[in-house]
Amino acid sequence: MSRKIILYIAASLDGYIAEADGSIDFLTGDTSSEVEAFDSYAQLLERIDTVVLGRTTYDQLVNELSPDQYPYEDKISYIITHRPKAGTDQLIFTEEQPEQLIQRLKQEEGKDIWIVGGSQIIAPLIANNLIDEYVITTIPIILGKGIPLFSETDTAIKLKVVDSQIEHGLITSFYQA
């Protein structure tokens, strides 16, 4: 059984994962402590042993969202960056292209893999049809502009709706490729 690649992410109603200046305050808003209580989030953390994120997302995580403790320290984290630095066995900074990293990780033994944030990571995975599951939480706000969840692509990916849930006033939709 091969590892599944899961995009689990939140976006505004109009499809932005960050404001134009890169801030993500709207994601936590009134629900910051409640998001971690989501059943879908808890289930995701049980299913995965690997997290793949971009350097910008990593920096926001360790500098703004969780400066006191890295939230995925019990997982192996791959941080894709053009500015690699020394890491640890659990925290790996790499210049590997997202699609190459994911194809390699899928061949290794382990649990599922979580893709965390950023269209620079997501776009090449979509272009190569490497995402197995999309779990998208919609934040009920219209930003009007910002950093889009999905970049333009030449390839349409048809998805199957699997489920949807409403928790804490947010809608989470589950899709399979």
66-106 pLDDT per residue, tens: 888 899 999 999 999 998 888 899 999 999 999 999 999 99
Residues 60/87, Cβ–Cβ less than 8 Å: no
The pLDDT of residue 135: 95
Q: Closest Cα partner for 125 from 105, 100, 96, 95? A: 100
DSSP 95: -
Identify the residue with better confidence: 84 or 127: 127
- Whole-angstrom distance, CA of residue 116 vs CA of residue 58: 9
Least confident stretch, 21-25, 131-135, 147-151: 21-25
67 Cβ contact list (under 8 Å, min separation 6) = none
Instruction: Count the residues in the chain.
Output: 177
CA angle 13, 125, 82 (to 5 degrees): 100
Residues 121/137, Cβ–Cβ less than 8 Å: no
The pLDDT of residue 65: 80
- Whole-angstrom distance, CA of residue 18 vs CA of residue 70: 21
19-59 pLDDT per residue, tens: 988 888 887 655 444 455 567 888 899 999 999 999 988 98
